[in-house]
Structure 1
Amino acid sequence: MVKAKSHVRTAAGLAQSRWFQIVARAGYVTTGLVHAMIGWICLRLGLWRDADQSADQSGALASFAEAPAGAALLLAGAVATAMLAAVHVLASVGDLKNDLPSAVKAAGKAVLYGGLAVTAWSIGSGQSSDSGDTAESATAPLLASGLGRALVILAGAAIIAVGVYHVYKGTTRKFRNDLSPSGDDKISSVIDMSGLVGYVAKGLALVGVGGMVMWAAISVDPDKARGLDAAFTEVLSFPAGGHLLAGMGIGFVLFGVYSVLRAKYQQMPTS
């Protein structure tokens, strides 16, 4: 036990080092570029029905992989995002005793950033990855039992709750609490605008994904448990769906801008 605590303290000290923090902050740039690319794919799909890649995390990363030196950039981004995930893991461990909600929140962020790191590394190293297929394959075995379907419904409800929180965080500008003051009115205005529109757009998309996951359980159809790409495609079936999707695309691009700015102004968690 003492040895384990010593290892945690050593890891925490390493994570607080200047070079580790710089690389970890670059993970926000990676997430920003991914969201901006998802937004661009949505714009193309909404306005011109033209998109070579799926409008989700794996599709965005695959688009970067096709660029010159794209694979190398993805691998570098994977390392940075993995370090960002590690920072949140250590913050979660540090909060376990005194602040359980913060520990759970930090753990959730660690999972998200860790998942992005794994996907980026996989695509950067030449392997294929489809988040929609992953969601479908993970859901299918659970739909064979009543308990499994209940768990899928709860998972969908949790995704919807996260989406609603994103909308709330954007409209109330609670995201300001996560950032250090920029000291520049123009940058602050960009942060406010991109955070507001970006959080709302991402929140609405997550509500759509959560709804599809819940419907997959209710209809006992794992094909419906798809990711962002399927949710965006569904939007096209709405009246003026193309314009709605283009608007969401702009929101994701702005969330990408906000995420890149976080690389400099985000208050990093302590462990």
Structure 2
Amino acid sequence: MRDISAHVPSPPPKWVENFARVGLTAKGVVYCLVGILAFMAAFELGRNSSNGAGKQGVFQFILEQPFGKWLLGIVALGLACYAIWRLIQGVNDSENKGDDAKGIAKRLRYIFSGLVYAALAYLAAQMVLGNSGGSSGGGDSRETLAAQLLQQPFGQWLAGIVAIIIIGTGIYQIYYGLSDKYKKNVRGAGLKHEVEEKMVRMGKIGYVARGVVWILIGYMFLKAAMQSDPQEAGGSGQAFQFLESSSYGSYLLGAVAVGLVFYGIFMFMRAKYQPISTSS
């Protein structure tokens, strides 16, 4: 990875920090809105459905507000900033994770995150530009991916591996929250102890809720692999729908929705207080 980073120009430190903070803020906005729309769908407040409470549903919601194209454009730009920061973390090793197995694994996780949010930024930008592709269902991108994988030799195995990676990501999110590893992002920020503790608890609940959603998305992708049916795959909207259709579904979905709002608030806290490493 050092060979790759040698060809990537080192950006000015302030530039990196600004991109990180703008990106974390945009991520917070998206997750807060996802949680709010999912909560409204859980308890039938308004006309929202759980299927429309995913990230694409949030983009559509923003687009329908006054000055919606401008607002969604700002969100798209913020998500692009977040993606670029994550790629810098992974390629330039700005967090000094190193080149051993553990360090490379963490840097690959940053790169994966960057690519995911780059795709979200692209989707938001397409919707701003009025591209008809942006109006498709929230799970279409995963259905397309599942369909492409299933068409390959050993396609079911490939799709199954992707599903396991998604589920593993969800399990790691829950572990990350319960192990308190996330606290380093806000500790020592100069907040009052009571405020800091409340925000840290929000982060814990948020990471667990996010992990649950990832696990459900992975489960649906695994069903698509096992049944060789790409339509079984879905995104966060379909994950919410799955929760809502289970026993005590409204309460389960409501709990996850609140957790996602907490996660969004924790992103705002990170945007304001997290020390951003800009070394390379």
TM-score, reference length from structure 1? 0.89
- 1:100 is matched with which residue: 84, 100, 104? 104
Please give the alpha-carbon distance, in whole angstroms, between the structure 2 residues aligned to 1:254 and 1:175: 14
Partner of 1:40: 36
Which range moves more in the overlay, 149-158 or 231-240? 231-240
Q: Choose 73-82 or 151-160, whichever is displaced more.
A: 73-82
- Asked whether the equivalents of residues 212 and 224 of structure 1 are also in contact (C-alpha less than 8 Å), the reply is yes
Q: Structure 1 residue 51 and structure 2 residue 51: aligned?
A: no
SS of structure 2 residue aligned to 1:13: coil
Instruction: Answer yes or no: is 1:219 the counterpart of 2:227.
Output: yes
Q: Which amino acid aligns with 1:237?
A: S
**1:13 paired residue number:** 11
Q: State which of 165, 170, 173 in structure 1 corresponds to 2:172.
A: 165
Cα distance, 1:79 vs. partner? 2.0
Q: CA distance change for structure 1 residues 132 and 7 in 2, over 3 Å: closer, same or farther?
A: same
CA drift at 1:269: 4.3
Aligned length: 264
Q: Deviations over 1:109-149 (max 9, x none)?
A: 21122122212222222232444111112211322456111
| Amino acid paired to 2:120 | L
Q: What residue is the counterpart of 1:182 in the other structure?
A: 189
In 1, Cα distance between equivalents of 2:66 and 2:258: 25
Larger displacement relative to structure 2 (151-160 or 177-186): 177-186
Q: Aligned partners of 2:129 and 2:234: how far apart in 1?
A: 25
* Bigger Cα displacement from structure 2, 111-120 vs 231-240: 111-120
Distance 2:248 2:199 in 1: 29
Q: 1:7 to 1:162 in 2, by over 3 A?
A: closer
The one-letter amino acid of 1:45's match is: A
Deviation at 1:6, TM superposition (A): 7.3
TM alignment of 1:236-255, pairs within 5 A:
236-255=244-263
Query: Per-residue deviation at 1:94?
Result: 2.3
Partner Cα distance (1:39, 1:113) in 2: 18
Runs of 4+ in 1 over 3 A off after TM superposition: 4-7, 95-99
**Of 19, 22, 25, the match for 2:18:** 22
Query: In the alignment, which residue of structure 1 is the partner of 2:114?
Result: 110
Cα deviation for residue 182 of structure 1 reads 2.0
| Superposition RMSD in Å | 2.2
Residues 167 and 200 of structure 1 are in contact (CA less than 8 Å); yes or no, is this contact kept in structure 2? yes
SS at 2:92's partner residue? helix
Gaps of 5+ in 1: none
Q: 1:241 to 1:202 in 2, by over 3 A?
A: same
What's the TM-score, normalizing by structure 2?
Answer: 0.86
Structure 2 gap segments, 5+ residues each: none
